[in-house]
Amino acid sequence: MPILKRKTLLAGLLGLLCLAALVATYDWYRNRYIRTVVFAGEELRLPLELAGPGPVRLVHFWDPACPCNVGNQQHLAELIERYASRGVTFHSVQKPGSRGHLPPSLAALRPLAAIPGSEALPASPAVAIWDRQGRLAYFGPYSEGAVCSASNSFVEPILEALLQDRPVRAAGTLARACFCDWQEKP
């Protein structure tokens, strides 16, 4: 067999091997993280120091070990930039027992140790938004799909409605997106 044909064959086999590895990696990611989750926020409450009438409050639930958080950090930074000046306050709750830090672009998030009801969260990343009267208006994902941005977000329309004092009640949602378990599995 001439050397050129052998090199072509070897390059073709190497290309197929790389393609197979990419397909296997994508399939693993999709099976591990892309899933349907039901969010029910009836048990979520603001901590006493934030409860009651006040500004619109957004709480970001995140797990430092979850690769899905990376997909929404730019979007969250854009939300802070767009809505903090309009009176929305931003807070975060890190998965209990986890270790890590948010990037500098999210320094405006005020960390909370926990909020009542957060121990029952199904998955992260997730967001909860309370209206000016302190009522839970929304609990669920930022969006559907593998990543979130302003183009596929559920959050911007809710914030806009709340800032215009229009009522929103979406404390329970269903979404298929990138999620990690909030509770440790036995």
Report pLDDT digits (tens) over 65-96: 998 888 788 899 999 999 999 999 999 999 99
- Quick check: helix, strand or coil at residue 37? strand
Q: Would you say residue 31 has pLDDT above 70?
A: no
What is the overall mean pLDDT for the chain? 84
pLDDT band at residue 29 using 50, 70 and 90 as cut-offs: very low
pLDDT at residue 94 in the model:
95
Q: Are 156 and 27 in contact (CB under 8 A)?
A: no
Q: How far apart are CA 129 and CA 59, in angstroms?
A: 6
User: What pLDDT, on the 0 to 100 scale, is given for residue 103?
Assistant: 92
Where is average pLDDT lowest: 30-44, 128-142, 150-164?
30-44
Paired tokens of 65: 């070990």
Q: What is the mean pLDDT of residues 137-153?
A: 78
**What are the chain's domains?**
34-181 (3.40.30.10)
What's the pLDDT tens digit per position in 15-26?
666 665 565 555
As a whole-number percent, the residues of the chain with pLDDT over 70 amount to: 81
pLDDT bin (cut points 50, 70, 90) of residue 55 is very high
Long-range contacts, 93-96 (Cβ 8 Å, 24+)? 93/59, 93/60, 93/61, 93/62, 93/118, 94/62, 94/63, 94/64, 95/61, 95/62, 95/63, 95/64, 95/65, 95/66, 95/124, 95/182
- Judging by beta carbons within 10 Å of its beta carbon (0-12, 13-18, 19+), is residue 55 exposed, middle or buried? middle
